[in-house]
């Protein structure tokens, strides 16, 4: 039988391909109107929090330490008002086997694939998740293919992305490197169909459920060591799984900390643009992913994403590229910890936000990642300069993504900027309401309240503005 391999045909078969590649019938979770039973999706994996913890322990994932950053705390207090300057902590996820929190996402996914009899796993990612899947596949005896958006049309790849490809290959994965564009998920769908491998998606309930252990550990570590919960937990935010899983785990640990999302401000750059692909110095934890995935979580490689960050975030802040590079050097020079860029996004935000809080309060940057080769500051900046980006010291607020990188001339210039969370909530409501075929019901409104962590009054006000 001849199978139609056109883009339209393959993407049109997405639901059938994904169901076969995961064993999940997403149609089961659709309800009347626009309602989608998110909790049923999360609960139907067959893995409880205790199961995730047990599986991760078996494969050397988790139980990562927390560290207080005494010197960065002292520096933040120099720029804070009297009595202000919370204690700054990090949870060191770089101590996982592949060097990031994403091993928590990969572990149960690979475990489940093996349990269900799949011979291998496939993941679409240009980042740390590929290394995490490759690491777990090696440990658990499965084959692994990583599909990576790597180059522009001139075959030029960012040092950080090339480093991650090297890491995946070192861990035994086959890496398919693509140029930027819409072919990423098309290629993944074809490979899933051809190989019969498991779709180890970043956005599955298996993966996001695995991140709950991070929040659960963090909550218990603070209770055990300090007899209290942290006041604020800052999560680097891209596709939303990091924040979603951490927040759910904190809740299960009985921790009511404020959850703040942090992303690098890349406003004005298109993530799908060939000409702009190499004019940014961050490949994840930036607004090019963070905003669209918050307002439209289901535009991923599964019909319904388990990463739904607007359900959990209390605030959303942005920091500049120059600020993240600056805090990366400060962490190494002042604390003796050399870490990669994504976790330092949340740390740059935490350094600024700590100055709003009292000195007896605790703020946590909830993950670090490994660093090496192309992840280091110097190759990233050399690549930026090669691509015509101006590097200078000054006020980071003057940074224009794609044109320059502005390092703070003084630590006091690190200032996280508030994102308009209500605007993002409104965008999600508008998008989801557009799928309604009739008048919205009370159940629809209750669902939108949950999706946006808002109120019936807020949802109804947005709907009224749409004439709904």
pLDDT at 271: 82
Tokens encoding 20: 């076969």
Whole-angstrom distance, CA of residue 359 vs CA of residue 74:
10
Whole-angstrom distance, CA of residue 56 vs CA of residue 159:
30
Q: What does residue 250 show for φ and ψ, rounded to 5 degrees?
A: -60, -40
What burial class does residue 289 get, using C-beta atoms within 10 Å of its C-beta: 0-12 exposed, 13-18 middle, 19+ buried?
Answer: buried
Whole-angstrom distance, CA of residue 329 vs CA of residue 344:
10
Q: Model-level pTM?
A: 0.96
Cβ atoms of 56 and 107 closer than 8 Å: yes
- Crossing angle (nearest 10°) for helices 159-170 and 128-140: 0
Whole-angstrom distance, CA of residue 104 vs CA of residue 53:
9
pLDDT at 1: 60
Q: Per-residue pLDDT tens, the chain, 468 aa: give them.
A: 678 999 999 989 988 999 999 999 999 999 999 999 999 999 999 999 999 999 999 999 999 999 999 999 999 999 999 999 999 999 999 999 999 999 999 999 999 999 999 999 999 987 899 999 999 999 999 999 999 988 888 889 889 989 999 999 999 999 999 988 778 889 999 999 999 999 999 999 999 999 999 999 999 999 999 999 999 999 999 999 999 999 999 999 999 999 999 999 999 998 888 889 899 999 889 999 999 999 999 988 899 999 999 999 999 999 999 999 999 999 999 999 999 988 899 999 999 999 999 999 999 999 999 998 889 999 999 999 999 999 999 999 999 999 999 999 999 999 999 999 999 999 999 999 999 988 899 999 999 999 999 999 999 999 999 887
- Name every residue whose Cβ is closer than 8 Å to that of residue 244 and which is 6 or more positions away in sequence: 208, 211, 306, 307, 308, 309, 311, 312
Radius of gyration of the chain (CA): 21
Closest CA to 90 of 419, 340, 417, 414: 340
Question: Tokens 């980071």 belong to which residue?
Answer: 396
- DSSP 8-state secondary structure symbol assigned to residue 393: E
pLDDT at 180: 85
The DSSP bridge partners found for residue 112 are: none
Greatest Cα pair distance, the chain, in angstroms, is 75
Question: Tokens 């010291």 belong to which residue?
Answer: 393
The vertex-99 CA angle with 136 and 299, nearest 5°, equals 70
Residue 417: helix, strand or coil by DSSP? strand
Whole-angstrom distance, CA of residue 13 vs CA of residue 16:
6
- Crossing angle (nearest 10°) for helices 321-335 and 70-78: 120
Question: Which H/E stretch holds residue 52?
Answer: helix 49-58
CB atoms within 10 A of CB 65: 11
Q: What does residue 329 show for φ and ψ, rounded to 5 degrees?
A: -70, -40
Residue 413: helix, strand or coil by DSSP? helix
Order of strands across the sheet that contains 143-151? 174-179, 143-151, 120-124, 198-199
- Name every residue whose Cβ is closer than 8 Å to that of residue 248 and which is 6 or more positions away in sequence: 42, 208, 211, 212, 215, 312
- DSSP 8-state secondary structure symbol assigned to residue 395: -
CB atoms within 10 A of CB 189: 23
Residue 428: helix, strand or coil by DSSP? helix
Question: Tokens 């937990």 belong to which residue?
Answer: 233
């Amino acid at each position: 039988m001849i199978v139609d391999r056109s883009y339209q045909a393959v993407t049109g078969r997405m639901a059938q391909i994904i169901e076969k590649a995961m064993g999940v019938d997403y149609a089961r979770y659709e309800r009347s109107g626009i309602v989608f039973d998110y909790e049923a999706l999360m609960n139907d994996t067959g893995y409880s929090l205790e199961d995730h913890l047990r599986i991760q322990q078996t494969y050397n994932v988790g139980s990562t330490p927390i560290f207080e950053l005494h010197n960065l705390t002292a520096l933040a207090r120099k720029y804070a008002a009297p009595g202000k300057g919370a204690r700054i902590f990090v949870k060191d996820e770089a101590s996982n086997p592949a060097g990031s929190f994403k091993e928590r996402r990969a572990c149960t996914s690979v475990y489940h694939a093996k349990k269900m009899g799949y011979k291998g796993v496939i993941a679409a990612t240009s980042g740390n998740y590929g290394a995490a899947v490759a690491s777990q596949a090696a440990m658990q005896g499965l084959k692994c293919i990583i599909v990576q958006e790597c180059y522009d049309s001139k075959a030029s790849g960012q040092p950080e992305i090339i480093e991650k490809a090297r890491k995946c290959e070192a861990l035994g994965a086959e890496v398919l490197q693509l140029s930027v564009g819409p072919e990423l998920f098309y290629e993944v769908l074809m490979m899933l169909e051809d190989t019969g491998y498991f779709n180890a998606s970043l956005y599955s309930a298996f993966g996001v459920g695995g991140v709950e252990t991070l929040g659960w550990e963090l909550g218990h570590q603070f209770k055990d060591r300090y007899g209290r919960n942290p006041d604020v937990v800052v999560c680097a935010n891209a596709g939303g799984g990091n924040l979603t899983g951490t927040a759910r785990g904190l809740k299960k640990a009985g921790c009511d900390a404020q959850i703040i999302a942090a992303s690098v401000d890349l406003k004005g750059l298109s993530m799908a643009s060939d000409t702009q692909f190499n004019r940014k110095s961050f490949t994840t934890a930036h607004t090019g992913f963070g905003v669209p995935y918050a307002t439209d979580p289901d535009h991923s490689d599964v019909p319904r994403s388990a990463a739904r960050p607007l359900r959990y975030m209390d605030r959303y802040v942005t920091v500049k590229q120059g600020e993240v590079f600056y805090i990366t050097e400060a962490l190494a020079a002042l604390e003796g910890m050399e870490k990669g860029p994504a976790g330092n996004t949340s740390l740059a935000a935490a350094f600024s936000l700590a100055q709003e809080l009292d000195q007896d309060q605790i703020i946590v940057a909830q993950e670090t990642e490994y660093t090496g080769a192309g992840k280091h500051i110097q190759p990233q900046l050399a690549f930026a300069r090669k691509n015509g980006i101006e590097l200078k010291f000054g006020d980071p607020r003057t940074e224009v993504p794609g044109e320059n990188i502005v390092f703070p001339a003084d630590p006091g210039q690190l200032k996280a900027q508030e994102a308009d969370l209500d605007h993002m909530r409104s965008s999600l409501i508008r998008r989801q309401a557009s799928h309604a075929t009739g008048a919205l019901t009370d159940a629809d409104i209750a669902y939108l309240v949950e999706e946006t962590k808002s109120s019936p009054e807020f949802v109804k006000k947005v709907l009224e503005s749409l004439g709904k």
